[in-house]
Amino acid sequence: MTTDSDGVAIISEKTNTDASVTTGITHTTKANLQGRFKVSYNLVSPKKKTVNITVTKDGTTATDSVIVKPSHRFIAKKNKLKIASSKRETAMKTSTSHSRTTVSNDVKEHL
């Protein structure tokens, strides 16, 4: 299972009619009359993740898992955000360093 460019994977399967289906920790839905369900799962980081799928009906529970892999577009998007964030941090450090130098020189002039 692969995500889209935003890191969202659509998990769509078939199980028992009207069963409760939970993916991950908080994504819950119900299977329809044909037993089909669809739920989205969002990857936070661009790394593959094993997602547990738990199906419950009439007190019986079964668990399976699916591996959600980040798409190349999602990885590229995350890398661009990481690079932009790194550039902002560098710019802020440079700006802060320059401000300190200016303050230090101003203090020296008054001594």
Instruction: Give, in words, the CATH class of 1-111.
Output: mainly beta
The answer to whether the CB of 16 falls within 8 A of the CB of 57 is yes
pLDDT band at 95 (very low <50, low <70, confident <90, very high): low
Which pLDDT band, with edges at 50, 70 and 90, does 24 fall under? confident
Give the Cα-Cα-Cα angle 61, 63, 65 (nearest 5 degrees).
Answer: 165
Can you give the residue ranges of every domain in the chain? 1-111
Kindly report, residue by residue over 66-93, the tens digit of the pLDDT. 999 999 999 988 888 766 566 666 656 6
Instruction: Give me the sign of the Cα torsion angle 10, 14, 16, 17.
Output: positive
pTM of whole model > 0.85? Answer: no
- For residue 14, is pLDDT > 50? yes
